A and B are shown apart, each in its own frame.
Chain A
Amino acid sequence: MRAVHELSICTSLARIVEAHADGRTVDVVHLDVGHLRQVIPDTLRYSWEIVVLDTPLAGSVLDINHIPAVLHCRICGARTAIEVPVFRCGCGSTAVDVVGGEELLVTSLDLAGPRTAAPPRP
């Protein structure tokens, strides 16, 4: 069986989350994942379960925000979301920049609420 790159992504992800959680309990890890990053969401979630098993991050889940692939045309200025991998503007130009779809970011963490009863804020 070969390893999948979702597994190595999760290994890097765990290091970042651990550093930012700083010992606090994490409920949700929010991610931006671009369409062009070839990440299969279910595989990523499953890999996360494996990677955080028996670590302080066990039980935390991934919230994957899928970002579509978007081209910006330098000739006509149009912004086009693409579903198929054809990097060409509707005007025929290939002078396009990818302005969306390459994200692979941890955006934020939701930490667990306090365990002990505490008075509400005034």
Chain B
Amino acid sequence: MGRFHYHADGTGHSHDQDHDQDHEHEHEHDHHHEGSVGDHSGYTTGGLRVDVLEKILGENDRTAEANRSDFADAHVHVVNMMSSPGAGKTTLLREVLLRIGATLRVGIVEGDIETSIDADRLAGLGAPVSLINTANGFGGECHLDATMVRSALPRLPLADLDLLVIENVGNLVCPAEFDVGEDARAMVFSITEGEEKPLKYPVMFRSADLVIVNKIDLLPYLDFDLPAFYSNLRDVNPHVRTIETSAKTGTGVDDVCTWLRSLADHE
């Protein structure tokens, strides 16, 4: 239900649920109620209140839906891969491509501009890689938004792909806020990061469909408390799927491939 409110002319009403989604309607509505003619002739002593009720990231959400519908038309399934910088996304993707490349047609959108060599690290493995143009204005350094992902799509043969993996910018805050049109979110967490991370960044951990616990080969050398990590993760996202991996030794990478394959097989 939209919220009920009064206008300056004393009339009251509530807005539809989708009011804030519909820009055109929104503006008609505004101009109808609060335009400079009619009841609101500018003779009020105080300022005029204009109702808006619009989602701030609504434009991103609409672009994400456009991406989603292009992905559906091309029958490509899309994973948004997120982590803090250096958790192992690119290394893991390399290992995945080496194993899965022959049986699944995978494309990559590379958005991690922390390391400009990531696209090169993924080249030559049979997967087309499209680099995001980061010159996209404010915020372009800390996350990918739907428009940035959209700009990368013309350079990919979408219709020939089964799976598209988007390597997001290394950041545990903003990427979770921006829907880019993905079907699923995979988070790569490295055990070098500390077991309290899910409680510090609950929004991203909660939004994940899969949490990959990477660098598990380092477990004997760290005083990382794995049970405490899982307990913190369950507090935030009780039923999330988890896979322990080492992109270095290859542990668990087959399970990641299986998860990706099941996503791509899903209609």
Contact = CB atoms under 8 A, between A and B. Distances in A.
Interface of A: 2-5, 7-13, 15-17, 19-22, 24, 27-28, 31, 36-38, 51, 84-88, 94, 104-114, 118-121
Q: Which of A8, A20, A24, A104 has the most CB of B within 10 A?
A: A8
Given A85-B199, A94-B238, A11 B52 contact: no
Nearest to A17: B52
A15 B173 CA distance: 23
Interface in B54-110: 54-60
A36 to B, nearest CB: 6
30 contacts: A2-B141, A5-B143, A5-B173, A8-B138, A11-B138, A16-B52, A16-B56, A19-B23, A20-B52, A28-B47, A36-B202, A38-B173, A38-B174, A84-B199, A85-B198, A85-B199, A85-B202, A85-B235, A87-B235, A87-B236, A105-B56, A106-B52, A110-B47, A110-B50, A111-B50, A114-B42, A119-B43, A120-B43, A120-B45, A121-B44
A121 B42 CA distance: 10
A63 B198 CA distance: 30
A9 B57 contact: yes
Contacts of B42: 114, 118
A111 B47 CA distance: 5
B60 A3 contact: no
A84 B203 CA distance: 12
A8 B202 contact: no
Given A2-B142, A2-B171, 5 more contacts: A5-B177, A8-B174, A20-B30, A37-B177, A38-B203
Contacts of B199: 84-85
Contacts of A3: 138-142
B220 interface: no
Interface of B: 20, 23, 26-27, 30-31, 42-60, 137-143, 145, 171, 173-174, 176-177, 198-199, 202-203, 206, 235-239
A93 to B, nearest CB: 10
Contacts of A5: 139, 142-143, 173-174, 177
B33 to A, nearest CB: 11
Contacts of A120: 43, 45
Contacts of A27: 47
Give the top 10 A-B pairs by smallest Cβ distance, nearest first: A8-B139, A85-B202, A5-B174, A94-B238, A86-B235, A106-B52, A3-B141, A7-B138, A109-B50, A111-B48
Contacts of A118: 42-43
Contact of B54 (A37, A86, A94, A105): A105
Contacts of A121: 43-44
A106 B141 CA distance: 25
A113 B27 contact: no
Contacts of B174: 4-5, 8, 38
Nearest to A51: B138
A3 B136 CA distance: 12
A87 B56 contact: no
A110 B56 contact: no
A38 B235 CA distance: 18
Given A5-B174, A104-B55, A104-B56, A87 B47 contact: no
